[in-house]
Amino acid sequence: MADFTKKAIKESFIKLLNEKPISKISVKDIVTDCKVNRNTFYYHFQDIPALIEEIVTEQAEELIEAYPEIESLEKGIEVATEFAIKNKMVVFHIYNSANRDLYEQYTMRLCKHVVTKYLEVAFKDVEVSDEDKELAVRLISCSLFGFVYDWLDSGMSEDRPADIKRLCEVCRGIPDIIIERSRN
């Protein structure tokens, strides 16, 4: 079965995300929007964070699917950043619509999620320990978060390509650091 109801719930959530800050979105809002019973929401999802989790996971997978060969970390970050900004990436929606309140944590968490997924591909032929992978995730997701943060904060100026380049330059050093660290 194809779970059209579940899909509709997700779509309603994303739709509402464009209309109001995430902190104001209730389960009731969602089920009202897509006209299903409130229990149906709870049948499919634990709660709203779980819903978000699933949306993000899904979109991260979509992301990987769209770019199956990520030959370099730089390329990976570039693509991830582009995707996050240009497409329906929930990270962006959440941050953008949250009125700069306490949802930065969310954004952070989501960045981490995406980067983790990404590095699974980027690191697939590189021998590094799980701890080092964890470190890379933390460093890069912080960069990604900071990048999106800055960009939004500066009124979403159009010099994104330059910004991406700068971000990539910073991140390019990271694998070296990781490998260096692996040797000790």
Q: Does 39 bind a copy of itself (CB under 8 A)?
A: no
Q: Does position 27 bind a copy of itself by CB under 8 A?
A: no
Q: How far apart are CA 145 and CA 162, in angstroms?
A: 17
The residue type at 67: Y
Q: Residues 16, 17, 30, 36: which binds a copy of itself (CB under 8 A)?
A: 36
- What does 121 bind: DNA, a copy of itself, none (CB cut-off 5 to 8 Å by kind)? none
With both helix axes pointing from N to C terminus, report the angle between 130-153 and 73-86 in degrees, rounded to the nearest 10: 40
What's the min distance (Å) between Cβ of 54 and a copy of itself? Answer: 17
Give the nearer residue to DNA in terms of CB position, either 30 or 89. Answer: 30
Q: Which of 76, 64, 61, 63 is nearest to 171 (CA)?
A: 76
Q: Of 5 and 96, which has the nearer Cβ to a copy of itself?
A: 5
State the Cα–Cα distance between residues 184 and 182, nearest whole angstrom: 6
Question: Nearest 5 degrees, angle CA 115-CA 144-CA 50?
Answer: 55
Q: Pick one of 16, 34, 70, 91: the residue that binds a copy of itself (CB under 8 A).
A: 34
What residues line the site for a copy of itself (CB under 8 A)? 1-2, 4-5, 7-8, 34-37
